[in-house]
Amino acid sequence: MKMNLQAMWQRTNSDVSVRQRLNDVLRQAIIRMELAPGQALSEKRLQTYLLLVANQ
């Protein structure tokens, strides 16, 4: 079963800034959306997705 965004947020470290927590959740959500089992997602592609989300 896939973890929803709220559950992902609750699992992040509450000692870091909200911005960093949001970045961590978005990163995990993108990885889960994009990856099929056994695939890898390059850091460059991941950063591209994060920039697209940030600019919307």
Render 35-47 in DSSP notation, one character per residue: PPTT----HHHHH
DSSP 2: P
pTM above 0.95, yes or no: no
Domain ranges of the chain: 13-54
- Nearest-angstrom CA–CA distance, 45 and 55: 16
Task: Say if residues 41 and 29 touch (Cβ distance below 8 Å).
Answer: no
What is the largest distance, in Å, between two alpha-carbon atoms of the chain? 32
Walk along the chain (56 residues) and give the pLDDT tens digit of each residue.
Answer: 456 878 888 888 888 898 888 888 888 887 777 766 667 777 788 788 778 777 76
